[in-house]
Amino acid sequence: MKTILITGGLGFIGSNFIHMLMQGKVFEKIINLDKQTYAGNPENLSDYENHPGYVFEHSDICDQTSLESILLENDVDAVVNFAAESHVDRSIDGPEPFVQTNVVGTLRLLEATKTFLSECKADRQKAFRFLHVSTDEVYGSLTSEDPAFCESTPYAPNSPYSASKAAADHLVRAYHHTFGIPVLTTNCSNNYGPYQFPEKLIPLMILNALEGKSLPIYGDGSNIRDWLHVEDHCSGILAVLQRGRLGETYCIGGASEKTNMEVINTLCSILDEKIPDYAPHAKLKTFVKDRPGHDQRYAIDFSKLRGELNWHPTYSFEDGMAHTVDWYLSNREWCEKVTTGKYQRQRLGAT
């Protein structure tokens, strides 16, 4: 594989994936297609603006004509689809953008890929890969006694966001079985790490704590998530892209089930050592009304990925959290531009 098209590459996970590919020189050419919504930050990849192996395409995943042109003109070998609206609270406030990007956008990308492959020779069709990045939220919610999600867990999405991702997963599967598109799907647990937009739990808590602001906790903080460092997630995606069996789904987890309260307590402890100004940071914790339909527990069984592709997470939860806090402390300017919206004003030429 020489050329890869990545959709949604300015976002949190997509930009980390591109960093990994660029640093490892995995592909000769990386094409990053991104609509540049609020979560798409060009500064995430500013190091590569003038790199000959990196091309940015400002376009919408729903623009099938643009997608077909990019695939054909660049003779693309692989597509990895990160493009998604992903914040549950926003999906509750307004579901339609989630359906447009996550469902219609995935459909357009599949259709463009089908058109592209129809013009390729058989050997190119066989070597091509389409990897769709999804979430464990499509499986619904677990009780404390339930076994972890795995690839055969029935779908039971509980939010507009997870429902839109479930629909996209089904489309990807259908295009493989109906049209022979060489697809792979990954379903991951909760990610954390560098470049995450601060509406998500961990960066929000870090940035609030740095300013002595309250640390809002939904309900009683007992909701459980399996936390996966984004660099581990990216290495899992690459393993599936390179060696996964076509048509298969692979679950990627961090082996780190923690309650939201445990996550926040860990952050407070780390920050007490590194930034003593507002210590003890635990005094900033506040409880707020729970999110509607808040899933109680997510957990991932990644034994298929480990058994078939010899993948496992390299970050422990404690090391990953310390690494993440250090990144946000070392990138205050990035944080300031994101929290104030300055990065968007710069893109639009405003001050």
User: Does residue 328 carry a catalytic annotation?
Assistant: no
User: Does residue 137 carry a catalytic annotation?
Assistant: yes
CA distance 165 to 170: 9
Of residues 54, 139, 161, 195, which has the active-site annotation? 161
Give φ, ψ of 86 to 5 degrees: -135, 0
Of residues 60, 68, 85, 136, which has the active-site annotation? 136
Q: Which of 290, 280, 169, 317 is nearest to 218 (CA)?
A: 290
CA distance 42 to 49: 9
Of residues 137, 257, 295, 301, which has the active-site annotation? 137
CA distance 244 to 236: 10
CA distance 264 to 201: 9
CA distance 161 to 92: 8
Q: Which of 298, 137, 295, 139 is nearest to 218 (CA)?
A: 295
Give φ, ψ of 94 to 5 degrees: -155, 95
Q: Which residues contact 170 (CB under 8 A, 6 or more apart)?
A: 155
CA distance 212 to 206: 10
For the chain, the helix, strand and coil percentages under 3-state DSSP, each to the nearest 5:
50, 15, 35
User: Does residue 169 carry a catalytic annotation?
Assistant: no
CA distance 319 to 322: 5
Catalytic residues: 136-137, 161
